[in-house]
Amino acid sequence: MSTSAFQLRSKFRAATDRAVTLLAILATVLVIAPLAVIFAELVFKGAASLNWSFFTKVPAPEGELGGGMANAIVGSGVLLGIASLIGVPIGIGSGIYLAEFGRGTKLADAVRFTADVLNGVPSIVMGLTAYALIVAPHIAFLPFLGHFSALSGGVALGIMMIPTVCRSSEEMLLMVPHAIREAALGLGVPNWRSTLSITVKTASPGIITGCMLAFARIAGETAPLLFTALGNQFWSTNLNEPIAALPLQIFIYANSPYEDQQRMAWAGALVLIVLIVLAVSLVRFVTSRGVLKGNN
Amino acid sequence: MDTAVPEIRVSQPLPEPEPEAPHPSVHPSAHPVAAAVPHEHSVIRRYLLARGNSALADRLFKLLMLLCALSIFMIVALIAYQLFDKSQLNWAQTGLKFFYTAFSDPYSKQPVYWDPVNGHFSALPFVYGTLVSSFLALLLAVPLAIGVAIFLTEMCPGLLRGPLAFLTELLAAIPSIIYGLWAMYVLVPLLNAYVNPVLYRGLGWTGLFSNDNPTGLGYLASGIILAIMILPIVSSLTREVMTAVPHSQREAVLALGATRWEMIRTGVLRNARIGIVGAIILGLGRALGETMAVTMVIGNTPEIHKSLLSNGASMASVIANEFAEATSDLHRSALVEIGLALFVVTIIVNAIAQLLVWAVTRGAPRQAN
């Protein structure tokens, strides 16, 4: 009697175990499926309308066939350049502070915490801030204020880069062995010099990959550009004027009633995703090989 | 020979321990050792003195790095100040009522939520849309995310773990605009053709699923795309928290004769539950602020509907849609106030989530020993 109840119970337990295993596998498949579907769709729809003029021509006027996204690709490059000029030095600097000077202090904990929280602030809020900082104010002797501009878009993206770059470079700097710092200091090298030319240099592959990840993240950002960079249908590399950007152009074309422009949106999305996947895979490849150790 | 000194010390400390170091004793034309040692010291001393006092440079460098670190606080303060400042106009008009009341039309007695032409602004439909789509997203994403985390940490053969983890990471790297594009042209037509009619026929009596929206856009579509977008964040954080649970816990439960699922339930999930809640809240924070994908599929009408298949709007989507073409200062100010609310809410949500995740992962090494 008692043995059969026991057997029943252990059968039930084994069955539950198997059911949960199946459910977990099912969940994994369900999560990977959208990825596969999205990629298939992107390649299928995007590749069809990718051609040479996509990379060399500016958008065609409404309702006309043809044209390309050359200005958007260049514009994205300009925006990312401004963003990196702001985000990379400040991000690495704060990473250095956290890893080299602030270890174990309350201030460093607070900075780390704030950076993580800032990382979760919606990108559209960054756009509003850049708008309030650069687009809204009219000051006579500062001609770069008061209008939509590439500069404001770059600032919005740059602010977004800081926390990501900061946290990843801190992580990389913490991996540099102490003996290297001690060796440098033992030779009488000043602290700042040992930090810059020895610690940072040793960690530089990791720091660069961190920067690239941040780069890949902001390359696809659309929301902060909607009312800062604004978009542009023509060639422009002027920092004081609205500028086109790849994600913005995708957004505009996605909402377009013309089928040709919708196809263009898919092609743009394909280009964007290829760039991002390349960056992420490169990062993955570099970090998995442990370049930090094999640097010299 | 003196010129070789700075090169060695400054740029190449690691490899090749001084190929041509000015050590007198190894040099062919060496002086007697007793005389050479003080001479060598004085070279270093002279070199250091010639370079000046590095204490000042060190202090400056530290200060510079400190400024970089403090800039992160400054950014948060700057965002808060700018949003607060630019939303004053609307705040003066409606105050806190902005978020919970609507203007009532005197003729039709219908509530008017958002009327830029006549200057009536209420954030209620946007708050509603954001909450509904985000909670829908959590409802769909959390079980899947925990399932994936369990599979990857406890069941997955080691060979598969790396690639699968990479794929979920990749899911996180896809920009929101591409999710939006995909949702707009693939997901929404699919939902409209196959899922929504079934939901209406089966569950229409609840009032949550109506069939008056022929587009397929709406709360449900944005909830689903949000779920896909927050899945990788929730699952990777859950995974991190679960791996932080010490192995001794698992071994102890297994030693008592538990099956694998019982081990996961009592040994892992119970210990990691605070961190998992943190991961879920962090996912909520992402969902609340997600802009582009939601803007493309929620339908963008400032209305409140009980039906999940109706068009709506979210806080982020209304800013994205209307800010660049805002018709008046009050309109712009109202949008900034929505942005301020979004900022404050996501800051709070993220801070809570971060603390919960840290509570588990931080103590991990100490527990393990």
Asked casually if ipTM beats, i.e. exceeds, 0.95, the reply is no
Do the Cβ atoms of B68 and A101 come within 8 Å? Answer: no
Task: For residue A52, give how far its alpha carbon lies from the nearest alpha carbon of chain B (Å).
Answer: 22
**A49 compared with A244, residue with greater pLDDT:** A244
A208/A216 Cα distance (integer angstroms)? 12
Contact B165, A35 (CB under 8 A): no
A57/A271 Cα distance (integer angstroms)? 15
Residue A238 clears pLDDT 60, i.e. is over it? yes
The number of domains in chain B is 1
Task: For residue A125, give how far its alpha carbon lies from the nearest alpha carbon of chain B (Å).
Answer: 6
B 105-124: CB under 8 A from A = none
B289/B131 Cα distance (integer angstroms)? 11
Which residues are paired to B111 by β-bridges?
B104
Contact B139, B283 (CB under 8 A): no
Find the DSSP H helices in chain B. Answer: 4-11, 33-50, 54-86, 88-94, 124-150, 158-173, 176-182, 188-190, 196-203, 219-243, 247-255, 260-262, 270-289, 292-297, 315-322, 329-361, 364-368
If asked whether residues A100 and A25 sit together in one domain, one would say no
Residue B323 lies in a domain: yes
Residue B30 lies in a domain: no
Residue written as token pair 């104010």: A137
Residue B344 lies in a domain: yes
Q: What is the pLDDT of residue A213?
A: 86
Residue B37 lies in a domain: no
Task: Kindly state the DSSP code that residue B205 receives in the 8-state scheme.
Answer: G
Residue A75 lies in a domain: yes
Chain B residues closer than 8 Å to A31 by CB = 144-145, 148, 168, 171, 231-232, 235
- The CATH number of residue A165's host domain is 1.10.3720.10
If asked whether residues A104 and A219 sit together in one domain, one would say yes
If asked whether residues A19 and A137 sit together in one domain, one would say no
Residue B130 lies in a domain: yes
> Whole domain around residue A194: which residue ranges?
54-288
A35, A107, A219: residue with CB nearest B167:
A35
Residue A294 lies in a domain: no
Task: For residue B30, give how far its alpha carbon lies from the nearest alpha carbon of chain A (Å).
Answer: 23
Residue B198 lies in a domain: yes
- The CATH number of residue B360's host domain is 1.10.3720.10
Residue B40 lies in a domain: no
Residue A295 clears pLDDT 50, i.e. is over it? no
Residues 6+ apart with CB under 8 A from B366: none
Closest-CA residue of chain B to A18: B261
If asked whether residues A191 and A93 sit together in one domain, one would say yes
The number of domains in chain A is 2
pTM recorded for the entire structure: 0.87
Q: What is the pLDDT of residue A287?
A: 67
> Whole domain around residue B235: which residue ranges?
94-368
Residue B132 clears pLDDT 50, i.e. is over it? yes
- Best residue of A113, A119, A129, A296 to probe chain B, by most B CBs closer than 10 Å: A129
Radius of gyration of chain B (CA): 31
If asked whether residues A198 and A61 sit together in one domain, one would say yes
If asked whether residues A214 and A244 sit together in one domain, one would say yes
If asked whether residues A154 and A178 sit together in one domain, one would say yes
Contact B219, B308 (CB under 8 A): yes
Residue written as token pair 């010099």: A193
Residue A145 clears pLDDT 80, i.e. is over it? yes
Phi, psi of B191 (to 5 degrees): -60, -45
Residue A71 clears pLDDT 70, i.e. is over it? yes
Task: For residue B105, give how far its alpha carbon lies from the nearest alpha carbon of chain A (Å).
Answer: 31
Q: What is the pLDDT of residue B368?
A: 35
Selection from A255, A124, A233 nearest residue B180 by Cα: A255
Chain A residues closer than 8 Å to B322 by CB = none
Residue written as token pair 């290829």: A274
Q: How far is CA B346 from the centre of its chain?
A: 10
pLDDT (average), residues B305-318: 93
Q: Which two tokens stand for residue A39?
A: 């990629």
Burial of B96 (0-12, 13-18, 19+ CB in 10 A): exposed
B 193-222: CB under 8 A from A = none
Task: For residue A91, give how far its alpha carbon lies from the nearest alpha carbon of chain B (Å).
Answer: 7
The predicted-structure confidence for B144-202, as pLDDT tens digits, reads as follows 999 999 999 988 888 888 888 888 878 888 999 999 999 999 999 999 999 999 999 88
Contact B310, B218 (CB under 8 A): yes
The predicted-structure confidence for B323-345, as pLDDT tens digits, reads as follows 988 889 999 999 999 999 999 99
A136, A163, A202: residue with CB nearest B72:
A163
B 240-269: CB under 8 A from A = 259-262, 264
Burial of B161 (0-12, 13-18, 19+ CB in 10 A): middle
If asked whether residues A73 and A167 sit together in one domain, one would say yes
If asked whether residues A208 and A72 sit together in one domain, one would say yes
The predicted-structure confidence for B55-102, as pLDDT tens digits, reads as follows 788 889 999 999 999 999 999 999 999 999 999 999 998 888 899 888
If asked whether residues A228 and A144 sit together in one domain, one would say yes
A30, A32, A191: residue with CB nearest B167:
A32
Residue B42 clears pLDDT 80, i.e. is over it? no
Burial of B356 (0-12, 13-18, 19+ CB in 10 A): buried
Residue written as token pair 């997901």: B187
Closest-CA residue of chain B to A14: B259
Residue A293 lies in a domain: no
Residue B17 clears pLDDT 80, i.e. is over it? no
Do the Cβ atoms of B289 and A125 come within 8 Å? Answer: yes
Do the Cβ atoms of B346 and A277 come within 8 Å? Answer: no
Residue B243 lies in a domain: yes
If asked whether residues A208 and A115 sit together in one domain, one would say yes
What three-state secondary structure class fits A125?
A: helix
Compute the C-alpha angle B153/B159/B160, nearest 5°: 60
Residue A90 clears pLDDT 60, i.e. is over it? yes
Q: What is the DSSP string of B272-306?
A: HHHHHHHHHHHHHHHHHH--HHHHHHSB------S
If asked whether residues A143 and A24 sit together in one domain, one would say no
Chain A residues closer than 8 Å to B177 by CB = 220, 222, 247, 250-251, 254, 269, 272
